[in-house]
Each structure stands twice: as C-alpha cells, then as structure tokens.
Amino acid sequence: MQVEVKKVDAVRRELKFEISKERVKETFDEVYKDLGKVAKIKGYRPGKAPRHVLEAQHGKTAQDEVVKKIVPQAYQEAISNEKLEPIDMPDIADVNFQDGIITFRAMLDIKPEIKIKDYKGIKVKRKSSEVTDDEIEKTLDYFKQGQGKDKEVEVNDAFAHGLGYPNLEEFKKSLSRQLELDKDRQNRFDLENQIVEELIKKAKLTIPQSMVKKQLEHRVKTEIDRMKSQGIPEEDLQKKETELIKNMQDTVEKDVKVYLILDKIAGEEKIEVKEGENLPAKVIEYLLKEAVWS
C-alpha cells in the first residue's frame, strides 16, 4: 500500500491511497470464499460453485465488498502509521478500481497543535454574594405588584402568611437565602467566564472547521425542531435557519476553541474524565483551584 500525505493547512490533511494488486487479489479471495458459502447458484450446492461461475454472476457484488473491506482497513493503517489524530470521520472520495488496483482519497481534520502556557495561577475576582436590605425590599415590591395587581397591598405578616410563611420576618429570611443562592450561581458563572476568557487570550491554535460545522448543524437542527414543535410554518423555517446559522457561528467557533483548549489542559495535567462527567466542567474546576483569587 502506498500513501501520500498532503498538508492542506494547519489541521487539514489529504491522504492519497494506492492499494497493490497483491492485496486486492487477497481480499477478492476472501470475499469470494465467503460469497461462495451463501450464494445460491442453479446447478450447484452451496459452497460448491467454482470461482469463475461466482465471478460471472456476482462479480459486481464481490468488487463492492472488496472496496468496502479495503478502504476502511487502509485508512486505519495509514492514520496509525502516520501518527495522525483525526477528530472526526474522514471524507472518502475518488474511489477507483482499475487494472486490479484500488485508489482513493481521504480528507480529514486532525487535532490542532495547541500552544498554551501560564494557565495555572490565572487571576480571578469573585463578587460578593451578600444580600443587601435594598435588594430584599426591591424583591418584596416585585411580590407586592404580582399579588396586588390593580389595588395596593401592604407587606406584613398577613401578606407573608398568604404566601405560605408564618410571618414577614421568616419570609424575608427565605428571600435572603434564595437571593444569596442566585448570586452564588451567577458569581460562579462569572468566575468560570473569567477563566475561559483568559485561556482564549493565552492559547494559539487553528480551529478545525469540520468541528465547527458539525456542532453548528447540531445546534441549528435542535432549534429548528423546537420551532417546528411550536407550529411555525415550514416556509418560515428556512429563513429562520439562515438567521440561526449566522447568529450562532461566532458562538460555536468560540465554544469549539474553548473545548479544544480544555482538552489539551486535561491531557497535560492528566485529568481523567469518568463516564458521566463533563470534561470542560472538570478542567475549569481544576483551574479555579489553581487560580489566584482577589
């Protein structure tokens, strides 16, 4: 087998294959052996038809089977021998069978080279989760408006009791705990975002567009399916799809970039991700532990 590897860009590779007559012949022998066991040919018992009869009646089927066997085998051998790390299935093209030789091309994207340093000790700033009296009063006003509608409502023990609390003081305590939890979640998200933004600044890599395309298609399809379930007319969906692709492109590219960076760090730090765990979340948790807080 001859394989020519062409570097298209930083992540794109083109592999050109030429499979020798000898290997093709060996594979044909295997295919005809298996075919002979199951082929129903008039005048012959199963497994007893001679090779030339099988070739005459099932030549095209045999050739298709040979190609199906050889192409994936040759591809796997090539990426192993060339030490390539594909990030997705390849695009196979120009499969040709001539003069006993099989040739074909495979286009694939490989894991990009990622350069990142100083990802430990990132400076992050945590906001306070303390709940102020003013925030509690504003929330009480919100509840009052929701309950009062067109009439004025007094916020007192009776008001709190109507919401299922023994008195106003207990209602305020419950509000304070809920607001603190909400702030904690938002502040945690803010910390994670600070880590992500710093990683993007520090890392150098080429984003494989095949990953972006696949992820974009998935997200757009999910959103279109949701719209269909809401009864949006079919004629409007095509326009919506175009808008979604345009609006989601940058976000998806960023998400793919971040995932690749975090995957690289996971490898560098030997962070193991068990079944059911989320790689980005686990790596960000690690980086937050290593961060410098202020």
Tokens standing for residue 272? 């193991």
Residue-range domains of the chain with CATH: 2-109 (3.30.70.1050), 123-293 (no CATH)
Between CA 36 and CA 290 the distance in angstroms is 64
Q: How far apart (Å, rounded) are the C-alpha atoms in residues 246 and 10?
A: 25
Question: Which position has the token pair 């001539």?
Answer: 98
Write down the pLDDT at residue 244: 95
pLDDT higher than threshold 90 for residue 38: no
Q: Rounded distance, CA 19 to CA 27, Å?
A: 11
Tens of pLDDT, residues 125-159 = 999 999 999 999 999 888 778 776 657 888 899 98
Give me the pLDDT at residue 235, please. Answer: 86
* Per-residue confidence band for 36, with pLDDT thresholds at 50, 70 and 90: confident
Q: Write out the two tokens for 156.
A: 């007192």
Residue 45 — very low, low, confident or very high, per pLDDT cuts 50/70/90? confident
The answer to whether 266 touches 279, Cβ cutoff 8 Å, is yes
pLDDT of the residue at 260: 96
Tokens representing 109 are 């994207």
In the chain, the percentage of residues whose pLDDT exceeds 70 is 98
| 58, pLDDT greater than 70 | yes
The mean-pLDDT minimum among 132-136, 150-154, 163-167, 242-246 falls in 150-154
Cβ distance 93 to 107 under 8 Å? yes
Closest CA to 200 of 262, 269, 247: 262
Q: Is the pLDDT assigned to residue 182 strictly greater than 90?
A: yes
Tell me the two tokens of residue 265. 């760090």
pLDDT of residue 148: 62
Predicted local confidence at residue 284, as pLDDT: 97
Q: Please state whether 274 falls in left (phi above 0), alpha (psi between -120 and 50) or beta.
A: beta
- pLDDT band at 97; cut points 50, 70, 90: very high
Strand partners, 18: 2, 103
Q: With both helix axes pointing from N to C terminus, report the angle between 168-202 and 133-148 in degrees, rounded to the nearest 10.
A: 110
The answer to whether 53 touches 32, Cβ cutoff 8 Å, is: no
8 Å CB contact between 153 and 147: yes
Span between the terminal Cα atoms of the chain, in Å: 60
Q: pLDDT (tens digit, 9 = 90+) per residue, 195-234?
A: 999 999 999 999 999 999 999 999 999 999 999 999 999 8
Q: Rounded mean pLDDT of the chain?
A: 93
**Residue 112, Cβ neighbours under 10 Å: how many?**
19
Give phi and psi for 17, each to the nearest 5. Answer: -110, 145
CB contact burial 235-255 (16+ within 10 A = b; e otherwise): eeeeeeeeebeeebeeebbeb
